[in-house]
Amino acid sequence: MQLKSQIIKIHDLNYKKTKQQAQELLEDYSPLLRSYQKDHENFSKRPFELSSIKKLFQAINSSNIILVGDFHTFEQNAKNFERLLKYCTLHRLQFVVALELLMASHQHFVHQFMLGETSEVDFLENIQYDKNWMFPWSHYRGIFHIAKEAHAPVFAINSKGNLCERDQFAADTLSSIRKQYPDKIILVLIGEMHIVSNKLPQALCLSLKNKKISATKITTIHQNLDHVYKQLQVTNTKNAVVQFTSKRSSKLLEFCLQTALPWSKYESMLYWIECIGGDSRAFDGNIENKFIPIIKQLQSFLQLEEFITDEELENFIIYNRDKNDFILKEIQKIKQLNLRQLAEHLLTNGKSFKLPYSSKLYSAHYSMNKLSYLAGVCLFDSIYKQLDLSYDDLLESAKASRFIALMHQHITSYLCSKILNPHRKCDLYKDLCLKLSAPAIDPYIRKVYIESIKIIDACKETEEGNDKKWNESIFALKHSLPFINDVATLTGHIFAELLFEKLYEMDYKIAIHHLKNLLFVHPLGVDDLKEISDFLFKQTKLHLLQKKIF
């Protein structure tokens, strides 16, 4: 059995559990909402064919209106919408943005905000965001930033009334925008149930016809549909884009972006409800009850059950950004200067970490990525404890090996996060090079990128039998601990990404044997890192490695 088959088993278990919990909650919803949900489920089961990012972008280039589905509690959907806006900006396509999260009665406030006449705080207060939308503003902030930079108008398309009435209002508003901006693409972000063929798209076609607006091509982009995910699993296909096959008008195209596991969106919904409409990434008092099963799931998968005992698990306490003042006081108690500076740096930058010499954990926000990353930190720490060694003592020392220790931690933690979310992405070699060439790059970040590229180059040359660059990069990295950590983070994530891809298609037992020997037997040394480099970079065209758009 392949490693990926075991990973899929984990995802299936999580999917069934979260989907069932979500369905139980739907029982309390209105009959009309349940009807919309049922239609959404049925329409997603239509035939589809594999497509590509290239074909999706071709459809965007030739369309007048793009309807993008949003699962309001799931940040990934809004981020994908941002990526579509960035594509339009990069290719100099003129566009207009239309958002369900804004009430049409507040259009004048939207206009003022986009012109820079009001602050973000005043804007949110003016539109009564928490009352009218309630979903995390952090999901959508980036959309406004991109639109401002592109000088793209933003329109509100939401209204009072039931779902059908809101669909009709949105359709009429969009057709009016189409008439006002005939030469611009209209990108619409609206709830996923609204963009089912017989809902908003149908109402929009009729509204355009009534207003005698012809030659309008509409493309619908669904996201992370359950049935599509399951069908791709059955056919063993790893594909980010599919297109629904339809015998209807060629002016109506439908795609689906599969960029996340379906259970992730249900989990975000459940947690949002627990938070009573607050930020779905904020914690409740029982976060350990969510965190401990994640560690146990990873322990079982990696066959590391003995690494952390149940008693040790019970000792973990997780704090979030609401406890920043408390965490800062705890950090200030740390006597070792290097460790104190590193912890302050991680806290300031919203990173997840374990406080030195304690069972206290910090994560600014709630997300599966962050919790699984923290689980990896805890599993990594246990490597040292099993050998009666102290990872924190090593970091406090001035030895060059502390870079390798930090890199080891980030490889382990990112890999654990990747197991639970294979769609997670990080910057790869080409991304770092491209960002390094950006004109407005921060000097500190620039320095981190330069050192990270040097490290990767050195690892590649070591695999080719040349140790000179290796010695110059690894052992000459005599900077502050926060800086060394930032370099170790970027390089560690790249190593973990490549390691995951190398092992994904392998036999499960062989892959786990490799992982345990490479990462979980003892702290990494220089020779171990060389061995991993040799395993990862052999026949790898490093300069071509780039993060996928979706």
DSSP-derived 3-state class of residue 488: helix
Percent of the chain beyond pLDDT 90? Answer: 64
Mean pLDDT in residue range 475-500: 89
Q: Any idea which residue has 């003892």 for tokens?
A: 522
The answer on pLDDT for 191 being more than 90 is yes
Going by C-alpha positions, the residue among 261, 239, 243, 223 that lies closest to residue 77 is 223
Structure tokens at 34: 């349940």
Cα–Cα distance for residue pair 285/283, rounded to 1 Å? 7
| Per-residue confidence (pLDDT) for residue 247, from 0 to 100 | 58
The answer on pLDDT for 438 being more than 90 is no
| Average pLDDT of the chain, as a whole number | 89
The yes/no answer on whether domain 29-263 falls in CATH 3.40.50.11550 is yes
Q: Any idea which residue has 């959508």 for tokens?
A: 140
Cα–Cα distance for residue pair 57/156, rounded to 1 Å? 25
DSSP-derived 3-state class of residue 80: helix
Backbone phi, psi, residue 65, to 5°: -130, 130
Burial class of residue 190 in the structure, from the number of CB atoms within 10 Å of its CB (0-12 exposed, 13-18 middle, 19+ buried): buried
* pLDDT tens track for 105-154: 999 999 999 999 999 999 999 999 999 998 989 899 999 999 999 999 99
Q: Which residues lie closer than 8 Å to 338 by C-beta, 6 or more apart?
A: 395, 396, 480, 481
* pLDDT tens track for 331-389: 999 999 999 999 999 999 999 999 999 999 998 877 788 899 999 999 999 998 888 88
| Per-residue confidence (pLDDT) for residue 462, from 0 to 100 | 65
* pLDDT tens track for 57-93: 999 999 999 999 999 999 999 999 999 999 999 999 9
Backbone phi, psi, residue 181, to 5°: -125, 70
Domain boundaries, the chain: 29-263, 287-397, 425-550
Report strand pairing: 95-103 vs 360-362. Answer: unpaired
**Largest distance between two CA atoms of the chain:** 77
